[in-house]
Structure 1
């Protein structure tokens, strides 16, 4: 920050005192000083309205009530106020110090020991400069935070637009989700896409970390999957019809970004022609819960996280689906808030939450997360069902 001019308010009715103060200020080593002189208290208010004062030097003989000094010092605070007394009695010095003066000198001291006044003046001005620098830095920080908040809200709106509708139907399959970010931006992401009239793909991804960098990866993920759908429609690539191939494509492209981010992901493909679910697992936990035929159980499978290894191993499996079923996907943030002392106990809570009928992600969320519990991590719950 460049050194700005420091304005000193001089309050005195005495021309001799004013001249002396000017002379002493000229001997001060401070480079850029501007003295504003007022000869009575009535003029002080006008000067304060039009100028930013760094320090006040007040000749207390200019007014009769020492309480005025207290009001002026309070108005200028945290800037400094120096008081001048015609007679430097101990009682008078104590009175002005108690009424807000940062330092006090008698007029005799100014003549006898001018260097003491100059030294005090320089210390007060240095203190004022530090206050001004802190104020400048605080205001700069506040502006930066306001800009950051605006950017975060804009990014939040963009991310929300990239998410699918909270409730939708594709190829006679119902998709519904809730997403509760721990910050404005979320590293969790869900999507569902109709590839054609009988194949539907869906996934839940959990990007490492929080905030803007993790949210950026969700934008890339959305772009990658829709690009694969576009390639399918152009007959240039059919990777989107294979959850395993899709995970490998996402892994390869995420490594190419060099962002140093990784994610876990569960991706499923439902084929209505044979009522089957083909799914692949990229390091995701907990596994989705499948409820059908009166049974509720976690799907089986495992795999490496995405974005860490050049040649990861992903597990792909295929199961048959009943005419009615419900698949519930969770991000790992749910394990942070679920009741239970062990992982097994927490998983039992998830199974219990998914055991009812016509359950929505919100009702599952309300069942698992105790009222008033703050989420330390993003939480996403997605249901895929046919009833």
Structure 2
């Protein structure tokens, strides 16, 4: 906080009292004092309406109305108020203290022991300075938080625009929808869906380590990498997007090169509608995807290492046949934080039972698991890719 002057208001019409206070302030250890005299109520109101002050002297000889002292003390609170009594009178002293004076001096004391008043003045000015510094820090923090909130709002809007439509129907009745509920304003979960050649469709769900802005920045990087691969794919220069395992290896290599200290888990799948197959790879992600078809709901098998941790990760690529009607459900690990169950196995079985309803949407599933107003302990993303003829 920058050094500033302390403004002392002297509410008095008595020249002798005003001169005495000026003399005392010259003896004060506090630097940069500015004294302002207010000989009447109008002048006092005008100053308090337009300016701050650090301390107020009120001369009760000039203005004996105790109610006025009370009003002034409340108006400048928590800044200190010092009352000057014409004489030592028990009733006047008690009334001044009850009406808000932080300290009281008599005219006699001012003449007989001026140093005591100076010491009192310095203590009250130190208190006023602490109050002003606290206000300054509070206002600065509040402004910084507002700026941060504005930045986060802008970043959240950018991140939202990077996501695919929340619900869309593709070729041959293939339907994709998702819900993404961040624990903070920005999310470390990310979802994407990309149309490939020959009636193939790539989809993935990524869960970046950590929360907030740093994790959200990795999702932006992930989208940028996907777009770059998409341009190469459309030019015929790369087939990486058609292979979930190759895509995981590519993301792993690129994340390591950034040295961001972040990693992520991923579920990547490619649906081939011509052959009715699903090819998928799992990059350290938990829980595994759920496949519902033929009246059964099962977790897909597969293992793999997280993306961005190891230079030579091991991934598996699996291929399974899809029925005419099927539903594939993907979840970020935040879903396990809100599922009922004493352990991971119980939570997974609960999730599997919930997903047996073939027509369930991600939003309906989330509503079954948690109240819409409940704060999430972690980001939660649910993605469903299905064909319901």
TM-score interval, normalised by the smaller of the two chains: over 0.9
The 1:342/1:177 distance shift into structure 2, 3 A limit, reads same
The 1:371/1:128 distance shift into structure 2, 3 A limit, reads closer
State the match for 1:36 in structure 2. 36
State the match for 1:182 in structure 2. 183
State the match for 1:82 in structure 2. 82
- Aligned pairs for 1:158-177 (under 5 A) are 158-172=158-172, 173-177=174-178
Output one character per residue of 1:91-130: Cα deviation in whole Å (capped at 9) or x when no partner: 3222211111111111111111111111111111111111
Instruction: Determine if contact 1:41/1:63 at 8 Å carries over to the other structure.
Output: no
- Aligned pairs for 1:63-212 (under 5 A) are 63-172=63-172, 173-212=174-213
Check if 1:249 corresponds to 2:244: no
Instruction: Determine if contact 1:40/1:62 at 8 Å carries over to the other structure.
Output: no
The 1:14/1:374 distance shift into structure 2, 3 A limit, reads closer
Instruction: Determine if contact 1:171/1:200 at 8 Å carries over to the other structure.
Output: no
Q: What TM-score do you get using the length of structure 1 for normalisation?
A: 0.97
Question: How many residues of Structure 1 are paired with residues of Structure 2 in the alignment?
Answer: 387
CA RMSD of aligned residues (A): 1.4
Output one character per residue of 1:53-97: Cα deviation in whole Å (capped at 9) or x when no partner: 111011111123222111111100011111111112333222211
State the match for 2:386 in structure 1. 385
Instruction: Determine if contact 1:337/1:373 at 8 Å carries over to the other structure.
Output: no
Output one character per residue of 1:140-195: Cα deviation in whole Å (capped at 9) or x when no partner: 11100111111111111111111110111233321111111111111111111011
State the match for 2:225 in structure 1. 224
Q: Quote how far apart the aligned CAs of 1:281 are.
A: 0.7
- Aligned pairs for 1:301-312 (under 5 A) are 301-312=302-313
Q: Quote how far apart the aligned CAs of 1:373 are.
A: 4.3
Q: What's the secondary structure of 2:64's corresponding residue?
A: coil
Q: Quote how far apart the aligned CAs of 1:355 are.
A: 1.1
Q: What TM-score do you get using the length of structure 2 for normalisation?
A: 0.96
Unaligned runs of 5+ in 1: none
Unaligned runs of 5+ in 2: none
Question: 1-side partners of 2:352 and 2:176: how far apart?
Answer: 19
Instruction: Determine if contact 1:349/1:368 at 8 Å carries over to the other structure.
Output: no
Question: 2-side partners of 1:309 and 1:90: how far apart?
Answer: 81
Instruction: Determine if contact 2:198/2:274 at 8 Å carries over to the other structure.
Output: no
Instruction: Determine if contact 1:191/1:202 at 8 Å carries over to the other structure.
Output: yes
Q: What's the secondary structure of 2:61's corresponding residue?
A: helix
Q: Quote how far apart the aligned CAs of 1:252 are.
A: 1.1
